[in-house]
Chain A
Amino acid sequence: MRYLPLILKNSWRNRRRTILTIASIGISMCLLGVMVATFHAFYLSDPTPQQALRLVARNRISYTVSMPLSYEAEIQHVPGVREVMVSQWFGGVYKDARDPKNQFPRYAVEPGKLFTIFAEFQIPEDEKKAFEHDRAGCVIGRDLANAFQFKVGDRINMTGDIFPGDYEFTVRGIFDSPRASDEMYFDKEYLEQTMPERRRGNVIMYDILIDNPANSARVAAAIDDHFHNSTAQTKTESEQAFIVGFLAMLGDVKMFLLAISGAVMFTILLVSANTMAMSVRERIREVGILKTLGFTPASILGMILGEACAISVAGGAIGYLISTALMRAVAKSPFGGFMPALKAFDPEVALICVVAAGLIGVMSSLVPAMSASRTTIVEALRSTD
């Protein structure tokens, strides 16, 4: 520890090189931070308290195959279930479908239950009442309202694709959500009325509220068992698992994240190793002098390793800070609505990044540090490089 000032002085000697190295590591580390945070949010993190209370049931075959509406009453009777709501993916075309901005999600739901199931949605009581009383009404998320400058009372016209026809919705309320909120909810009765007789009575999803997060797996299994011998078997899973499963449609997300993280780590390792090799080579005569002054090989080894660690941890810390800013932006983007809750700061992710940076520092400088500590005094002093 008493060598710390010397280590810091050494690392600051060739400022340009140190700054370039820190910048290079910082940029790669910021990427790694985003990857680790995303991976963490998808596969390792705990859901928010509200999310932990929600299950989603769908047809076992696919997100696109429906189930009978009669399941609602049956699910309601499964022990542990507090509330069940029909949730119909509407699809539809708003203005020009080619503009991704116009493809916000819209669901046909039961207005009376919506704010019980999604307890985190904040909406003024009078707007909520107005929504419940207007069959052609809808409520929209704050982000969606901002994106299109929608106000309460505005009309939204849509053409159905899964459910053919022309629809006109009146905005009855705007709700706030801690997550990205670019979705629209309207009354399923409105949709049901427009359908021909033979298509009625089916639904794509049930949103289920349970009484205790600890029962999540048990309730999900009980629901699936209940419908095991029915024509349409169900698959019930936590909201978190449902979202991750849906994202898997984009491709092998897990593999993608791991492969990129690996490539980034290896790049940082190379950059750091290169820098340390260069600076040790230039300083070999100095190592000889230090040794004549009585520094042991172990302390020289420690000093060089320490210098590498200092540089890569500095880069790692800067990179991590930038990555938190990036994550905040991603969570706010429309894409964030489709993702599990992304947290800008997560102590576990921060720890992973800093430890990874430290390890990379040690690994990258091990070879030059070992060879420097092993060089004999005479050899080191004779070096002309």
Chain B
Amino acid sequence: MAIPIAYNLRNLVVRKTTTIMTALGIGLTVAVLLAILALVQGLGTTLSVSSDPLDVLVLRKGAESELVSLFTRSQFQDLKFKAGIATGRDGQPLASMEVVTIMILPSYANPDGANLTVRGLPPAGIEMRPNVHLASGRWFQPGQREVVVGKSVAQRFPGGQIGQKVRFGRGEWEIVGIMDAGRGTQNSEVWGDLNQVSSDLQRVETVSSCLVKATDAVTARALINDLNDDQRLAVHAQSEDAYFAAQTAQAVPLEYTGIMVALIMAVGSSFAAMNTMYAAVARRAREIGTLRVLGFSRGSILLSFWVEAMLLSALGGLLGCLLALPLNGVTTAIGNGNFAEMAFGFQVTPKIMLTGVVFAVILGSIGGMFPARNASRKEILTALREG
């Protein structure tokens, strides 16, 4: 026969100071874990919504990022008539030859200047990224020294507003619009006209990369194989998804460090939970004796105290979720594959919160095991005499 859970709940309520302090300790541990998971989740979401599964990114063979890649206009002439490329609104193949470089601009967080990705692209490039919309202002005009910046640039950089000028290449460029890419990485980019940007960088013939849209998923795979096997082109084609997925690796050192920290803190707070439960067992020796006299078995005493420890830690887990929730929507930035700033938001999802609570309960069940065993081993007579 099991002892009702209400008994444990009431005990936790009666010793509320101790309960809250122990739970808060566990909660902080859980909050650290959740913060790291939310960061990794936020980065993952940002990277996954930035790409389209049908888009194929073409880089020079051996290049790991757009920044070190080279792609020539003559390669483009060969590439754009490959089979399987979708057709755009203007009847031309949806293939966007792009030039990527880096500029420096002082941000609020980094007044010495943070790096931003500059992308020169043709109209097809904008059409191929349906997640990017103009939020305010207008698109850049071909042949003009004009750029459109992502909304994170506008938020994080004092000089990233419409009407202001930024410097890269051989001179100044006017910001004429702000684009919104949802959660996408394009929020941290600066876009200009392909021809204008590439001539300014003296890279008219050799740009960086090419993005092509396949008609469907099967063709996309065939297209990738076709491009990679083409000896004359000598390019490395991959799905844009795969390219972005590889960039989540940027967060791996942070993720490992954070999880290590949370695990070490968990050991510390499970000791604290053990302490609290031992004290609870000692204070309630007479109650334990009474319960045994009433006919509850050693097993049900063990279970009861163990459940109490888990309830305590579950409360801690919930507190941890509450502590971590305000992180939702906080933006931070990390260096991307191009060594430029990539802003993204923390994302505390229900799944992450569940992980936190489960983590807390496991922690509590380990910490509560020994005190519960201690309680169940008490002899009736000595227990009644104690306290």
Contact = CB atoms under 8 A, between A and B. Distances in A.
A202 to B, nearest CB: 13
A373 interface: no
Contacts of B73: none
B64 A161 contact: yes
A60 B164 CA distance: 21
A17 interface: yes
Given A61-B115, A267-B265, A24 B271 contact: yes
Contacts of B354: none
A76 interface: no
B28 A31 contact: no
A256 to B, nearest CB: 7
A97 B268 contact: no
A37 interface: no
B9 interface: no
Interface in A27-43: 27-28, 30-31
Given A161-B63, A250-B334, A273-B21, A21 B275 contact: yes
Given A61-B102, A64-B338, A250-B250, A16 B278 contact: yes
A278 B279 contact: yes
Contacts of B60: 164
A27 B261 CA distance: 11
Interface in B23-77: 24-25, 28-29, 31-32, 35, 60-64, 67-68
Interface stretch (A146-154, A258-266, A345-353): A258-266
Interface in B349-366: none
A335 B260 CA distance: 15
Given A24-B269, A264-B265, A267-B268, A164 B338 contact: no
Given A31-B261, A62-B104, A161-B63, A250 B339 contact: no
Contact of A164 (B61, B102, B109, B258): B61
Contacts of A259: 35
Contact of A260 (B18, B32, B64, B102): B32
A250 B335 contact: yes
B29 A267 contact: yes
Contacts of A252: 109, 332-333
A357 to B, nearest CB: 14
B5 interface: no
B293 interface: no
Interface of A is mostly: helix
A381 interface: no
Nearest to A16: B278
Contacts of B102: 61-62, 64-65
Contact of A270 (B24, B253, B258): B24
Interface in A160-199: 160-162, 164
B254 interface: yes
Contact of B254 (A16, A65, A251, A266): A251
Contacts of B251: 251
Contacts, number: 136
Contacts of B29: 263, 267
Interface string A261-303: 0011011101101110110000000000000000000000000
A159 B62 contact: yes
B376 interface: no
Contact of A20 (B103, B265, B278): B278
A30 B268 CA distance: 10
Contact of B28 (A20, A27, A65, A266): A266
B26 to A, nearest CB: 9
A62 B340 contact: yes
B25 A271 contact: yes
A274 B276 CA distance: 8
Q: Which of A159, A161, A252, A268 has its CB near the most chain B CB atoms (within 10 A)?
A: A161
A263 B338 contact: no
A271 B339 contact: no
Contacts of A213: none
Nearest to B102: A62
B272 A24 contact: yes
A12 interface: no
Q: Which of A23, A93, A160, A271 has its CB near the most chain B CB atoms (within 10 A)?
A: A271
A73 interface: no
Interface string B256-280: 0110010011011101101110110
A62 B261 contact: no
A274 B278 CA distance: 13
Contacts of A164: 60-62
A336 interface: no
B334 A17 contact: no
Which 8 A-B pairs give the minimum distances between C-beta atoms? A249-B335, A24-B271, A27-B268, A270-B25, A271-B272, A274-B21, A28-B268, A62-B102
Interface of B: 17-18, 21-22, 24-25, 28-29, 31-32, 35, 60-64, 67-68, 101-104, 109-110, 113, 115, 168, 250-251, 253-254, 257-258, 261, 264-265, 267-269, 271-272, 274-276, 278-279, 332-335, 338-340
17 contacts: A20-B278, A27-B271, A30-B264, A60-B104, A60-B113, A61-B168, A62-B102, A64-B338, A65-B101, A91-B64, A251-B332, A263-B28, A267-B265, A270-B25, A274-B22, A274-B272, A275-B275
Given A251-B333, A267-B269, 18 more contacts: A25-B268, A31-B261, A62-B115, A62-B339, A62-B340, A65-B102, A164-B60, A249-B335, A251-B332, A260-B261, A263-B28, A263-B265, A267-B29, A268-B268, A270-B22, A271-B269, A274-B18, A277-B21
